[in-house]
């Protein structure tokens, strides 16, 4: 699994590099249209469970910020290739059903253990934006693309069983807080990016962008997390209010 993830990460980097090298050729006729900006986007993220015995337990508030670059495709300026470098602070909450023994010879019991995790990812997006002509000072857009993210940190609050000296019987469940959780989060996340919104031009090249973006993960977010004898699978998704200023 680790080898396949590394190969997928390498492929994503090659795609990003190729797109970056190819873009100047696409926009050579309209270099003045290249835009740079800053993005700040509050988000709401959650884990979509895909394993029996694992279920979503709520959403987490976070934020995304970083740099945006857009390159026009063609002379009209209505089509743009976008990329950037973002820091995504997201998370999720889930319940995991476990079976345990609380006494010698006692029955097998079940309990739902809660986990509330927060993650930090560096994201390199590849998107295409389709824009309307200017209506007044407004332009409206739709956006579609791919995101490649790399995990840089993870913390969690979770329930942890405390065993007796034999290591078989559970004495109690403790709540651990702000524990390192990076060993339980996959290092690479791939996602589909879908968005829509509007832009308002103040003057010259200064433009304010506001919109809504849905970032849908399609690779497993969890690592080394089991539900019974199965590996847990969950997809991390988030919805953000996309605010940006282009200069």
- For the chain, domain boundaries: 2-246
CATH architecture, domain 2-246: Beta Barrel (2.40)
pLDDT for 30: 38
Instruction: Confirm if 195 and 143 have CB atoms less than 8 A apart.
Output: yes
C-alpha distances in Å from residue 220, one per residue of 34, 97, 226: 35, 19, 13
C-alpha distances in Å from residue 173, one per residue of 56, 159, 212: 20, 6, 40
**How far, in Å, CA of 85 to CA of 123, rounded?**
6
C-alpha distances in Å from residue 221, one per residue of 76, 155, 184: 40, 14, 9
The pair phi, psi for residue 201, each rounded to 5°, is -90, 120
**How far, in Å, CA of 73 to CA of 23, rounded?**
8
pLDDT for 20: 43
Mean pLDDT by 10 residues, the chain (247 residues): 44 45 40 83 96 95 96 88 96 94 82 96 97 90 97 96 87 93 96 97 89 97 92 96 95
Instruction: Confirm if 163 and 97 have CB atoms less than 8 A apart.
Output: no
Instruction: Confirm if 234 and 48 have CB atoms less than 8 A apart.
Output: yes
Instruction: Pick left, alpha or beta for residue 221 (phi over 0 → left; psi -120 to 50 → alpha; otherwise beta).
Output: alpha
pLDDT for 76: 78
Q: Give this prediction's pTM.
A: 0.82
Instruction: Confirm if 169 and 163 have CB atoms less than 8 A apart.
Output: yes
* Strands 138-163 and 230-231, sheet pairing: unpaired
pLDDT for 22: 45
């Amino acid at each position: 699994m680790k080898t396949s993830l590394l190969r997928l990460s390498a492929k994503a980097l090659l795609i990003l590099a190729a797109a970056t090298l190819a873009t100047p050729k696409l926009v050579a006729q309209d270099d003045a249209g290249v835009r740079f900006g800053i993005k700040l986007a509050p988000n709401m993220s959650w884990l979509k469970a895909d394993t029996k015995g694992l279920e979503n337990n709520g959403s987490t508030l976070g934020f995304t910020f970083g740099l945006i670059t857009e390159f026009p495709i063609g002379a009209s300026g209505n089509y743009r290739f976008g990329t950037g470098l973002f820091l995504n602070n997201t998370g999720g909450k889930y319940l995991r059903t476990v079976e345990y023994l609380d006494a010698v010879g006692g029955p097998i019991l079940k309990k739902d253990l809660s986990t509330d995790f927060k993650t930090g990812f560096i994201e390199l997006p590849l998107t295409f934006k389709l824009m309307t002509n200017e209506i007044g000072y407004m332009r409206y857009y739709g956006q579609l693309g791919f995101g490649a993210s790399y995990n840089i940190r993870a913390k969690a609050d979770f329930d942890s069983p405390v065993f007796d000296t034999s290591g078989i019987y559970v004495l109690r469940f403790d709540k651990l807080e702000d524990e390192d959780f990076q060993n339980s989060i996959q290092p690479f996340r791939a996602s589909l990016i879908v968005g829509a919104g509007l832009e308002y031009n103040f003057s010259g090249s200064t433009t304010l962008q506001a919109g809504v973006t849905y970032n849908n993960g399609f690779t497993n977010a969890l690592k080394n997390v089991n539900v019974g004898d199965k590996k847990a699978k969950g997809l991390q998704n988030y919805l953000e209010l996309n605010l940006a200023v282009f200069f």
